[in-house]
Amino acid sequence: MVGDDRRGEAVAGVAAQPGDARATVALVEALSPLDARTAGLLQALSHQLRNPLTAVIGYLELLTDGTLGPLSMEQQRVLRVVVAGVTRLAEFVDDLEPGSPAR
């Protein structure tokens, strides 16, 4: 991949310049705590959003499967729009979780 080639070139360039390599290592070490805090924040955010989404999805399923009674054609149309939006939101929340595969 092109991005991999560029990274390889960058690493080779850093390795060729020992002074720069030390600066790079120092930068990585300085950013590591920030990376850990960011991952923790994303995990907490994902968890806090997932809880209410689970309830919304559950009630949407009750509406969709007719458990709560029949819906008019217009209500069904609106429900499909809402389900699509909630599904996109749930996928977004899943993607917030650190280590989740990219879509």
pLDDT at residue 87 above 70? yes
Please state, in angstroms and rounded to a whole number, the distance separating the CA atoms of residues 12 and 75.
Answer: 60
pTM over 0.85: no
5, with CB counted inside 10 A (0-12, 13-18, 19+), is: exposed
Of 45, 39, 99, the closest CA to residue 53 belongs to: 45
Please state, in angstroms and rounded to a whole number, the distance separating the CA atoms of residues 83 and 12.
Answer: 49
pLDDT tens, position by position, 7-65? 455 445 545 555 677 777 777 777 677 777 788 888 888 889 999 999 999 999 999 99
Residue 60: predicted pLDDT: 97
